[in-house]
Amino acid sequence: MDFGSLNFGDLMARAQALQSQVQSMRETMQNSTFTGADEDEAIRISMTGRYAPVSVKCDPELFGEEEAEILEKIIFAALVNVTNQIRSAEEQGKQDLGQSLGLPPGLMGQFPGL
């Protein structure tokens, strides 16, 4: 692409179109659920595109029915805990960055994806 032939208006229109496409992709990802498992599929974990745990399933034939249920609850709780820690650290990082830039408190939260 020859950027020299673009005027500022065209460049802004393309940037806005790209921003819209990125936002659409983010929304699609955030509203999706993903499932992963170990090689033997003994444990399956589902999470949203926002990294929020949805479910944990343990193979009752491998672990036993009661033990599988206990493991599912323990693993799910651990996933929720670590997800909350990550979100808290991200929020604190945004606040620290905003403060270091001299921005009003809470302004960094207005920028999705940061």
Question: Model pTM greater than 0.95?
Answer: no
Instruction: State whether residue 46 is helix, strand or coil.
Output: strand
Report d(CA 91, CA 105) in Å as an integer.
Answer: 12
Angle at 18 (CA atoms; ends 33, 98), nearest 5 degrees: 80
CATH topology of domain 33-110: Ybab; Chain: A; (3.30.1310)
- Tokens linked to 36: 């992963």
Are residues 53 and 43 in contact, defined by beta-carbon separation less than 8 angstroms? no
User: pLDDT digit string (tens) for 3-61?
Assistant: 566 688 888 888 888 888 988 998 898 899 999 999 999 999 999 998 899 999 999 99
